[in-house]
Structure 1
Amino acid sequence: MKRLKTIVLPIAMFFAFTNISQAGASTHTVNEGESLWSISMDYGVSIEDIKELNGKPDDSILAGEELEIPTSANAEEEDLLARIIHAEAKGEPYEGKIAVGHVILNRVADDQFPDSIYEVVHEVTPEGAYQFSPVLDGSIHEPAGEESKQAAREALANEGQAGDSLFFYNPEKATNYWNATREETKTIGNHVFAR
C-alpha cells in the first residue's frame, strides 16, 4: 500500500500542477471566418498585443492556427468596468458606453489617477465625494447588461487607442460647474467627454 501511495502521489501532483499552468495559459485556435479584430473583441485585448505576443508582422491569421492571448483585465475588473458603464451610460448609445469605458481606462493609465480599474471607480475626491455617483448611490452593484459587457470588452481591446478623454458628464444633470472648465473632446448622446 505504501508503494502505491509513493507512485500515485507524484502522478497526482503532476496533473494538479499541469491543470494550474493550463488554466493560467490562454490560447485560442483560430476558426474559419475569424479575424484578429473579432478575437480581440472576444477576449478584450488589443490587436497589437495579440500580434506582439505571437510575433505577427501583420493582421493575417489562418484557420486552425494557435494564438497565445495576452491577459487583459481579470474577470473581476472586466465585470466592474461593465457595471460602471451600465450604471453611468444606461440609455446612451453603444458608442457612448465604449467611451465611458475608455475614460476609466485612460484614468488608469494617467499618472494623476489611481492605477487600477477598482481604484479609479472607487476614488474619493479631496472634498470627500466619490468620482462616480453610482458608487455613492449603490447602482454600481447592479449587474451589467449584455451591451455594457460588450462595451467593456471593446474598450479593453482598444485600450491605448481611445483618445485622451479623462472626464465625462451630462450637462443637463451635472451640478459641478468645474466640468465645464475642461477641454471638450467629443459629445456622444447626452454625455460630454473632456480632458
Structure 2
Amino acid sequence: MLFKQMMIAAITIACSLTFSSQVFAQNNAHTVQKGESLYIIANQYGISIDQLKAMNNIEKNEIYSGEQLKLPVTPDESGKDLLARLVEAEAKGESYAGKVAVATVVLNRVSSDQYPDSIYGVIYDGYQFSPVLNGTINQPASEESKRAVEEALNYQGYDNESLFFYNPDKATSEFLSDQEVTTVIGNHVFLR
C-alpha cells in the first residue's frame, strides 16, 4: 500500500513539473528598452527582423522605449511534440499546407489574449480539439507533421491570423458561421 502511494505521489510530481514547464516555457512579449533596435531585439530572440516586424505590424524600422512587442511562440521540444501530435490527429489525410495551417491556428491562439499562453494550455483548453477528447492526440506524429510544425513556427506573423478551423462535412457551428473565412485548404475552413 505504501509503495502504491509513493508511486502515485511520484507520478503526480512528475506530471506537475512537466505541465508547469510547458505552461511557463513561453515568453511571447518584449518591452523595448532605451537604446534597443529591431536588430538587437531580433538577434536576442534568434528571429529575423522581418518576422519581428510582421508579428507587430511594423512597416518602418522605428520602435519606442516602453513599447510592447509580440514575439513568436518558441516552444520547447515537448511543446513541439504535442503540437505535432495534434497536427497529425487533426489533419491526417490533409495536404502539407493544411497541416501547417492547423499548427498556425494553435500558435495564433497562444499569441492571442483570448486563449491560454502556452501550446499545452491551448490544446487542452476545454473541448476545442477532438483528438484530445478521443485520445488520438497520444499517437506519435509523422515526420511530415513535425516538419509542418517547424514551418508554422517560422511562419508566425506572416499568416492571416486564423484562430479557428473546422471541416464543414463533419461539423457545424453557428459561432463559426459568423466568423471571417481566411482561407480554405483541403477539407478545412480556416477563420478569424
With normalisation by structure 1, the TM-score equals: 0.61
Q: SS of the counterpart of 2:190?
A: strand
Instruction: Give the residue type in structure 2 aligned to 1:99.
Output: A
Letter in 2 for 1:79: D
1:47·1:157 contact (CA, 8 Å) conserved in 2? no
Equivalent in the alignment of 1:159: 156
Tell me what 2:98 maps to: 96
Deviations 1:156-175 (A, max 9, x none): 11122222100000000014
Residue number in structure 2 paired with 1:185: 182
Match of 2:109 among 101, 107, 110: 107
Distance (Å, rounded) in 1 between the aligned partners of 2:104 and 2:73: 18
Can you give the 5+ residue segments of structure 2 that lack an aligned partner in the other structure? 1-45, 54-71
Q: Which amino acid aligns with 2:106?
A: I
- The one-letter code of the counterpart of 1:89 is A
Q: Report how many residues are paired.
A: 129
Query: Deviation of residue 179 (structure 1)?
Result: 1.8
Q: Give the RMSD, CA atoms, in angstroms.
A: 2.3
After superposing on structure 2, the runs of 4+ consecutive aligned residues of structure 1 that deviate more than 6 Å are: 49-52
Judged with a 3 Å threshold, the aligned counterparts in structure 2 of structure 1 residues 71 and 185 are, in CA distance, closer, same or farther, namely: closer
Partner Cα separation in structure 2 for residue 166 and residue 98 of structure 1: 13
| Secondary structure in 1 matching 2:156 | coil
Label 1:180 to 1:72 Cα distance change in 2 as closer, same or farther (>3 A): same
Q: Please give the alpha-carbon distance, in whole angstroms, between the structure 2 residues aligned to 1:101 and 1:161.
A: 14
2:132: which partner in 1?
Answer: 135
Equivalent residues in 2 for 1:20-169, closer than 5 Å: 46-48=47-49, 72-124=74-126, 130-169=127-166
Work out the percentage of aligned pairs sharing the same amino acid: 54
**TM-score (norm: length of structure 2):** 0.62
With over 3 angstroms needed to count, the CA separation of the structure-2 counterparts of 1:101 and 1:71, relative to structure 1, is: closer
The one-letter amino acid paired with 1:76 is: S
Q: Unaligned regions of 5+ residues in structure 1, if any?
A: 1-44, 53-69, 125-129
Query: SS of the counterpart of 2:165?
Result: strand
